[in-house]
């Protein structure tokens, strides 16, 4: 039973966290973080994910891990930001972070689309020129 | 700067000579236009044998490219559909790299009358950098067969355009346009590649301090194909263009303001 486990099992927790995470929740979070990190590293090993994105998500995972391990950190942050309910501070920061990541991805996507388009245009021009140069030489064939 | 340049026409010998020496390219963006393209190319060649023709097949899956080559045009084949903006930019790049002095954008579906190309080129001779051939009905007013919503959106765009560029365009969306070398060079580097490119590109030209004018031309009903997209997509595109235009707001006065 969760409630009979000694407090020490709750990683680094000195007091009952106000985020109210149970031990089972902690274990779940830890598990998800490690599995996620393993998955990302596997993608990196197979060169299916660029290093910078692997780093981004692994660092994100670390932050989640820290928060899960020391929920009191969130309390301090909430207190500093004058937010009454600590979980709200967590949501605020998480949403802000994800929003920034999304904007960054939109930027990257626009850049990629632009590059793809430029390549297509170059290819089309080359194809056109190839036919033009191919026609006279076919006529003048010796 | 909506000057009806038909009356201006090139009277001085200098511009006449320049016009005859100028190498001109007709850029025809075509996306699955195998039905209309043969007629369009034949008529174009008959009326303007002096023009080189570039068909940009925009990811066509039909015989558009073959038909273009058979008609003697150079065909630039895009590997996938980029939309009108990307197809046009391909044409602009080709024109710049092959040393053309001017180019005319011409519809594959037979909307444009090749006899009117002379009208556009006369405006270039008279000193314009970009000429928009607008659709004029019998009453001398722009006449589109469109619903009230689209009409409203079009007039809003026109109002924004004219306010931002201190000009007086009656129609910003026409696809019957001619460009001189400086505009070709600019467009070969940057051209708005999303839907409704004509409005945005007009703004670019004005903001770059180049001279854009419109001349009235006869534009026929489209021979084949469906006119454009559905309503909810149009709302999205009009809003997007408005935002894009606002982001381009400049406080520099265009070169031709007040002239």
Other C-beta atoms lying within 10 Å of the C-beta of residue B96: 18
Closest residue, chain B, to A133 (C-alpha): B74
Contact A125 B69 (CB under 8 A): no
Other C-beta atoms lying within 10 Å of the C-beta of residue A79: 12
Q: Per-residue confidence of chain A (142 residues) as pLDDT tens digits?
A: 444 444 444 444 444 445 556 778 778 888 888 898 888 888 888 888 888 888 888 888 888 888 888 888 888 888 888 888 888 888 999 999 999 999 999 999 999 999 999 999 999 999 999 888 776 544 333 3
Verdict on whether the full-model pTM lies above 0.80: no
Q: Directed axis angle between helix B197-207 and helix B181-189, to 10°?
A: 120
Q: Tell me: ipTM over 0.85.
A: no
Q: How many CB pairs under 8 A join A and B?
A: 42
Spatial neighbors of A137 by CB under 8 A, at least 6 apart, are none
pLDDT digits (tens, 9 = 90+) for B145-168: 666 777 777 788 888 888 888 888
Chain B nearest CA to A129, separation (Å): 8
Query: Which of B82, B89, B96, B97 is the best mutation test for A, with the most CBs of A within 10 A?
Result: B82
Q: Which of B69, B76, B97 sits opposite A124 (nearest CB)?
A: B76
Contact B76 A117 (CB under 8 A): no
Q: Give the SS3 label for residue B130.
A: strand
Q: Which of B77, B93, B193 sits opposite A127 (nearest CB)?
A: B77
Q: Give the SS3 label for residue B161.
A: helix
């Amino acid at each position: 039973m969760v409630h009979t486990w000694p407090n020490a099992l709750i990683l680094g927790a000195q007091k009952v966290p106000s985020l109210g995470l149970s031990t089972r929740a902690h274990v779940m979070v830890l598990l998800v973080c490690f599995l996620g990190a393993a998955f990302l590293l596997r993608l990196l090993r197979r060169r299916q994910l660029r290093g910078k994105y692997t780093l981004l998500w692994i660092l994100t995972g670390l932050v989640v891990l820290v928060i899960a391990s020391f929920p009191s950190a969130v309390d301090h942050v909430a207190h500093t930001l004058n937010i009454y309910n600590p979980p709200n501070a967590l949501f605020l920061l998480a949403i802000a972070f994800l929003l920034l990541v999304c904007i960054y991805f939109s930027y990257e996507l626009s850049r990629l689309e632009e590059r793809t388009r430029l390549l297509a245009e170059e290819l089309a021009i080359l194809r056109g020129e190839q036919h033009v140069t191919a026609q006279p030489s076919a006529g003048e064939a010796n | 700067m909506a000057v009806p340049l038909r009356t201006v026409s090139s009277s001085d010998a200098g511009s006449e000579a320049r016009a005859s020496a100028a190498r001109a390219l007709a850029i025809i963006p075509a996306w699955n236009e195998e039905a209309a393209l043969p007629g369009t190319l034949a008529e174009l060649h008959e009326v303007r044998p002096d023009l080189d023709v570039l068909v940009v097949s925009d990811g066509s899956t039909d015989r558009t490219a073959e038909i273009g080559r058979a008609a003697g045009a150079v065909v630039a084949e895009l590997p996938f559909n980029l939309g009108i903006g990307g197809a046009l930019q391909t044409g602009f790049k080709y024109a710049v790299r092959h040393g053309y002095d001017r180019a005319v954008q011409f519809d594959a579906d037979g909307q444009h009358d090749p006899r009117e190309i002379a009208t556009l080129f006369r405006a270039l001779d008279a000193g314009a950098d970009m000429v928009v051939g607008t659709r004029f009905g019998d009453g001398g007013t722009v006449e589109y067969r469109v619903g009230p919503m689209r009409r409203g959106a079009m007039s809003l765009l026109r109002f924004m355009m004219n306010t931002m560029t201190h000009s007086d365009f009656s129609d910003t969306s026409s696809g019957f346009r001619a460009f001189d070398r400086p505009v070709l060079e600019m467009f070969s580097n940057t051209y708005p590649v999303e839907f409704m490119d004509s409005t945005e590109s007009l703004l670019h030209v004005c903001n770059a301090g180049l001279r854009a004018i419109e001349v009235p031309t006869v534009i026929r009903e489209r021979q084949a194909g469906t006119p454009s997209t559905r309503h909810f997509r149009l709302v999205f595109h009009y809003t997007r263009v408005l935002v894009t235009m606002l982001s381009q707001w400049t406080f520099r006065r265009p070169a031709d303001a007040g002239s």
